[in-house]
Amino acid sequence: MANSFWKPVVALLPVLAGCYEYTPVNRVGLSPTTPVSVELSDRGSLNVTSKIGSNAVTVQGTVTDASASSLTIALSAVKRRGETAMSTWSGESITLASEDIDRVKTRQLSRRRTAVASAAFAAASVGLVVGIAKATGEASGSAGGKPSPTP
């Protein structure tokens, strides 16, 4: 019984994690601790090779410093050309010059995704309650309650 309770909860975790999306922003004026995803220019991909390896196309992390000429982030992930998954990093610092950057995006709450995730969670909760009620005999699926036992 306990196992069936956790299945819907575990199934919804990826949906709940999807409540955020990256949206393009101007990098000037980004405050420290802002989570960002930076798409590198071709030149930027070459310039960071000695620091994070070859073929990097996107880096993600937290802003530590931002100016008109550069952006410094504590790395959390790197995506390489031809790969679908991002490699995980542990906060290593990297400074990107303006010419290294193609686009900067910040992590924003997605109201649409949050609404969908909330509706899915509510539906799963109702399904769980109904399932428990039927399994324990509290709901038979027919009108009029439980039948009387015959003597």
Tell me the pLDDT of the chain (151 aa) as tens digits.
455 555 665 555 555 555 777 788 887 778 999 999 999 999 999 999 999 999 999 999 999 999 989 999 999 999 999 999 999 999 999 999 999 999 999 987 766 666 666 666 667 777 777 777 777 776 655 555 566 666 6
Distances (CA, A) of 23 to 20, 26, 100, 102, 151: 10, 10, 19, 14, 69
Check residue 58 and give its pLDDT.
97
